[in-house]
Structure 1
Amino acid sequence: MYRERPAGLPGAVLWSAVSEGTAARVLPDGCLDLLWSSRSGLLVAGPDRTAHLSVGTPGERWLGVRLPPGTGPAVFGVPADELRDRRVPLDALWGRAATGIAERLGDRPTAAALEAVAAERLATAGGPDPLGARVAARLAAGATVTATAAEVGLGPRALHRRSRALFGYGPKTLARILRMRRALALARTGAGLAEVAVRSGYADQAHLTRDVRELAGVPPATLLRS
């Protein structure tokens, strides 16, 4: 009962789901989400370091705007590492403004309406820090942290500091998460795990399996079956 589609905001995704009352495994991706739940209202999902097990009540409706890596801090007004591994009520960040937004959305909002809220906040902030998109794109393409730092003109410590604020963790962790997602996407095309490991930059299939298990909580074969 999960659906997603591209949003109007560049790189963002709109999604909706209806809970069946069982745990859903949400893999880390370096993103922050603006969420609405029919039970809990407006929430912010911070960037996870490992898979988050989301358990809703049967029939609970969820809507979300998944912002691309590096964009969330401009929308929510706080560094990403302050929200790492957390789900936070929106009013804890925006105070009375969140109450007004909840009233405006009503009890049957749409994902597009959530996107409009995020777009307004992003425009007010003057847009995302362009460094976020540059770093995330290079790491997603498989560039090393050292090469990425050199390309964006930052030293290792400065890149680590900026990455924590933009993504919630340092560039090595982000690179590891993006590599896992790249590998899983390739595996879903039908490539064998040994081939996936080589093409995704792992030492071998055992390295791939170990890394996915640490980040996702289960081995890649289990994720692919689900």
Structure 2
Amino acid sequence: MIQMERVRVAYPSGMEALKSVSISVEKGEFLFVVGSSGSGKSTLIKTLLGEVGVSSGQIMVAGRELSRLKKKELPYYRRMLGVVFQEFRLLEDRNIFENVALSQRIIGVSHDRVKRNVSLMLDMVGLGEKRRAYPKELSGGEQQRVAIARAMVNRPAILLADEPTGNLDPKNSWEIMDLLEEMNQLGTTVVMVTHNNEIVNQMKKRVVTLSQGVVTNDMPQGGYVQ
């Protein structure tokens, strides 16, 4: 599903964010990416999104080589990705139904299908009864569930999550992890960046550790290592 081969990312300042990173992620896998601040975790996510180009090496996602994609092709490539960030990034002037529906309307889904798909997704994340609520009326955990519903409503093959529990308390963090696990069980490949060692250690998923842009550990059922 994802193949990174000797990927190097260097910024104009000369700083290398990734140094010869090689990672292969299979379809349906759940992968944690961990490491200290500045280790290259977020840069890795940005390269998979096509937001940051590679200086050398190759990234293949579902058979597409990202460096060969033209700018006009990126929006179509990103349709196969769902993305969740630490910040919820919800539109404050729209209710949560409309926040989730926007992802479908952008790609031209019909009104009836939008209504059905968004309702099903909000029910899945436990917010069906709050579909007319606005973001400011929800807790942090509920807002992140809306963000997950928005990321998943188009049924992406891959979910990229960059510190999705970073702003949440332990209870809400585990509720979010239960949702991500459920999405993974339904077949979505999940790549999650986190600094939460408790979550990583308890879930026993594959763990890749980055340090100063280099992969230092890759364990199939590992724990948090710095």
TM-score over 0.5 for the pair: no
Structure whose residues are more often helix by fraction: 1
Question: TM-score, normalised to structure 2's length?
Answer: 0.29
User: Which structure has the higher relative contact order (CA within 8 Å, separation 6+)?
Assistant: 2
